[in-house]
Chain A
Amino acid sequence: MDLVLTIVFYAFAILAVVGALTAALSATASRRLVGLIAVAAGTSGVLFSFSAWLVAPLALVCLGASALLLGGGPEDRAAASAPRAGLVEARPATLVGVAAAAALFVLLVVVAAGGSFQKEGSGSAGVAPSVLGRVIFARDALAVKAVGAAVMIALAVGAFARGRRS
Chain B
Amino acid sequence: MTPSFGHALVVGAALLSGGALAAVWRRDGGRPLAALPALTGGAVICMAGVTRFAGAGHSPETGQELAALICILGLATSILGAAWARGRLAR
Contacts and interface: CB of A to CB of B under 8 A. Distances in A.
Q: How large is the interface on A (under 10, 10 to 19, 20 to 34, 35 or more residues)?
A: 35 or more
Given A9-B3, A55-B64, A97-B24, A67 B37 contact: yes
- Looking at chain A's contact residues, the main secondary structure is helix
A108 B77 CA distance: 24
A89 interface: no
Q: How large is the interface on B (under 10, 10 to 19, 20 to 34, 35 or more residues)?
A: 35 or more
Interface string A29-67: 000100010011011001101111011001100110111
Nearest to B3: A9
24 contacts: A9-B7, A10-B3, A13-B11, A17-B15, A17-B18, A23-B37, A25-B21, A39-B41, A43-B44, A47-B48, A47-B67, A54-B68, A55-B68, A55-B71, A66-B37, A98-B25, A101-B18, A108-B12, A118-B5, A134-B57, A134-B58, A137-B58, A138-B62, A152-B69
